[in-house]
Structure 1
Amino acid sequence: MIKKISVLLLIAMLAVVAVACGSDKDKEETGPKKESAKSEEMTVKHQLGETKVKTNPKKVVVFDMGALDTLDKFGVEVAAVPHDGLPKYLSSYKDTTENAGGLKEPDFEKINELAPDLILISGRQSEAYEELSKIAPTVFVGVDTTKYMESFKENVTLLGKIFGKEDEAAKELATVEEHINALKEKVPADKKGLIVLANGGKISAYGPDSRFGIIHDVFGVPAVDDKLEVSTHGQSVSFEYIAEKNPDYLFVVDRDAVVGDGAAAKETVENDIVKNTKAFKEGNIIYLDPNYWYLSGGGLESVDEMVNEISKGIK
């Protein structure tokens, strides 16, 4: 009888130990997971107001291509984007996300169905800000071209904070800064440049503080004309204007290459009038990839590629 009781006591003790070990293991397994999934609230000040945002959002709708570029670099999953107007290098999002509607006409019904935790927008969706804010926290992350690098860095840093990628954001920004500094060192101070957008056989020019003004303001290429109108669409100019200004470098953004209409930029720009310029004679007409310059400026990859293109073009 005593032996039987001893065996029963031993079994009971082993059961208690097993339960205790199991509890410790559960704590070890569930503790870190709960901690990593924890979400905090932060207030974001942006161009259109202030928005309370929860960190580590699960469902994100992105309209700004620069922000999409950066999130892609971070490896952050996105729930929906506008499928029309995606840069070629981000075209895979057509297969992995819901269609959020047009760049200027968001699909409010679809977005509402998705019940997102965060919506990221820029200039083309500004008028829809109030309506989108009724669906989910909405933040404006468009780049301010009058202070391009400051705005770009703020946006990348903000996205890093929201998605728990702060170290990665800092590292990527440092790399971009390093490439910009290297570019500045090779830009000749005595040669001036002009930036034009080719669109359906017509051209518009951009100067400092403009949509493409990063070439002058940040990369350090002197502007052949610093009195150009600052606007999203640029200042409409003639080919005679280009000949008169006679730039050493002519930077061309080919809008038609991404919207699929009009004459090719090379045919439009390299006419008999422009062939008299120093830029043409010295082989310094530089065609810029509109996927980076026109569709998605302000992203980690796009800005770095913009630096790379100017660096390759400068002689």
Structure 2
Amino acid sequence: MMVSETIMRIIIYNSYTLSKEGNLMKAARKVIHLFVIVLSLGALLAMAACGAQTAAPPASAGQTADSPEANAPDTRKYTDYKGNEVQIPVQPQRVIFAGETFGDLLVLGVDAVGAQLSSIKDHVFENRVKSIEDVGFPINLEKVLELKPDLILVASTDTKQYEQLSKVAPTVMFDTFAPLDERIAVLGDLLGKQQKAKQWLADFNAKAEAMWKQLRADGMKDGETASVFTYYPGDRLFVMARAGLPQMLYHPNGFKPTPMIQDVLNGSKGFMHISPELLPQYAGDRIFILIPAAGLEDARKSTDELMKSRIWLDLPAVKNGRVYSIDISKSDSDASTREWMLEELPRMLRK
């Protein structure tokens, strides 16, 4: 029953009762007094009712479509560096990473469900990798299906492989030859780790600046050049450019590439096959030689033969004792290896 209707019923009832007693004036005064009291009571009740309606949300308010949780999208559009548009999860939980910079994921605290174990085995971060499945090299599609990924990151730009993987889960081509800062920022965006990526880069870059400053104090000269070489199976000699150790060495305050290597860098190449006869044109003031992985005996043999050759022994860096050997698995450009190199590089140069 409405409050106003209740008030009127009370007034009418009391007016009738008092008038029957025969004292009309007295009745009138009591009715007026009662009317004021009841009106005040009604107003209070109305205010209380309004307050209750305003303060008490519907029981299901936390689950309505207007809540931030309900409105938050599960996926978003992303365009990779090759122009592929794909809907990716906002917070991927089951990531497969197929590329040579797996250590990038570790600094962001990401545990992938699958990777190419060749990019992990014998690397400086191997003992930090939790249980993970090998997707093979080349990638085994059946294994990928078995792992039920919600995001696949792949270094290969092979379009056929990309199409096959895209049928399994959202797939993004990831540039593993890109500079470290760019890669970590991209991964932070892809994996929902933007703040962690930003903080890690700030910390790492500060440590790198301090390292190069100390190396200069130890005798490194302005404009010193450096080169990185390695042998691959098939007696093929390569000069490294965008890939691997050069990313560390060619720091703004670090070593410079030789003019010939700069040409390779300008061509956005990770490395380039050269003949041993061209070594003098690419060799810098300091030379880093990457020792092939265990098991690649022919590549190791080629390396040994090169380092005994006349063309090698006549290089200024060799004559000046500025040649440094390092296992190729410890020379990658991934973030975890780069952290390790902040301490290892000064030790190498001081030998």
Relative to structure 1, the CA distance from residue 289 to residue 107 in structure 2 (aligned partners, 3 Å threshold; closer, same or farther) is: same
Partner AA of 1:204 in structure 2: F
In structure 1, the residue corresponding to 2:204 is in which secondary structure? helix
Aligned mates of 1:204, 1:242 — CA distance in 2: 10
Question: Residue 14 of structure 1 corresponds to which residue in structure 2?
Answer: none
Question: Residue 166 of structure 1 corresponds to which residue in structure 2?
Answer: 194
Q: Does 1:53 align with 2:81?
A: no
Of residues 212, 215, 237, the one that matches 1:203 is 237
Aligned mates of 2:209, 2:75 — CA distance in 1: 36
Question: Residue 274 of structure 2 corresponds to which residue in structure 1?
Answer: 236
Of residues 309, 316, 323, the one that matches 1:278 is 316
Partner AA of 1:73 in structure 2: V
Question: Residue 21 of structure 1 corresponds to which residue in structure 2?
Answer: none
Unaligned runs of 5+ in 2: 1-61, 63-67
Task: After TM superposition, give the deviation of residue 132 of structure 1 in Å.
Answer: 0.6
Q: Is the CA contact (8 Å cut-off) linking 1:55 and 1:161 kept in structure 2?
A: no
Relative to structure 1, the CA distance from residue 170 to residue 245 in structure 2 (aligned partners, 3 Å threshold; closer, same or farther) is: closer
CA deviation digits over 1:138-183, x for unaligned, max 9? 11222344xx2xxx32332233344443332222111221233234
Aligned mates of 2:243, 2:144 — CA distance in 1: 32
CA deviation digits over 1:74-93, x for unaligned, max 9? 33222112234434235469
Question: Residue 123 of structure 1 corresponds to which residue in structure 2?
Answer: 156
Task: After TM superposition, give the deviation of residue 261 of structure 1 in Å.
Answer: 2.6
CA deviation digits over 1:219-239, x for unaligned, max 9? 63123333654544413131x
- TM-score when normalising by structure 1: 0.70
% same residue: 18
Relative to structure 1, the CA distance from residue 126 to residue 300 in structure 2 (aligned partners, 3 Å threshold; closer, same or farther) is: farther
> Which is greater in Rg?
2
In structure 1, the residue corresponding to 2:167 is in which secondary structure? helix
In structure 2, the residue corresponding to 1:113 is in which secondary structure? helix
Aligned mates of 2:309, 2:81 — CA distance in 1: 44
In structure 2, the residue corresponding to 1:135 is in which secondary structure? coil
* More displaced stretch, 260-269 vs 46-55: 260-269
* More displaced stretch, 106-115 vs 93-102: 93-102
Relative to structure 1, the CA distance from residue 247 to residue 64 in structure 2 (aligned partners, 3 Å threshold; closer, same or farther) is: closer
Aligned mates of 1:196, 1:222 — CA distance in 2: 15
Relative to structure 1, the CA distance from residue 64 to residue 236 in structure 2 (aligned partners, 3 Å threshold; closer, same or farther) is: same
In structure 2, the residue corresponding to 1:174 is in which secondary structure? helix
RMSD: 3.4
Task: After TM superposition, give the deviation of residue 258 of structure 1 in Å.
Answer: 5.1
Aligned mates of 1:213, 1:266 — CA distance in 2: 19
Question: Residue 189 of structure 1 corresponds to which residue in structure 2?
Answer: 222
In structure 1, the residue corresponding to 2:329 is in which secondary structure? helix
| Structure showing greater relative contact order (alpha-carbon pairs closer than 8 Å, 6 or more residues apart) | 1
Aligned residue-pair number: 268
Aligned mates of 2:174, 2:288 — CA distance in 1: 26
Q: Is the CA contact (8 Å cut-off) linking 2:227 and 2:288 kept in structure 1?
A: yes
Unaligned runs of 5+ in 1: 1-26, 28-33
Relative to structure 1, the CA distance from residue 191 to residue 58 in structure 2 (aligned partners, 3 Å threshold; closer, same or farther) is: closer
Aligned mates of 2:212, 2:160 — CA distance in 1: 38
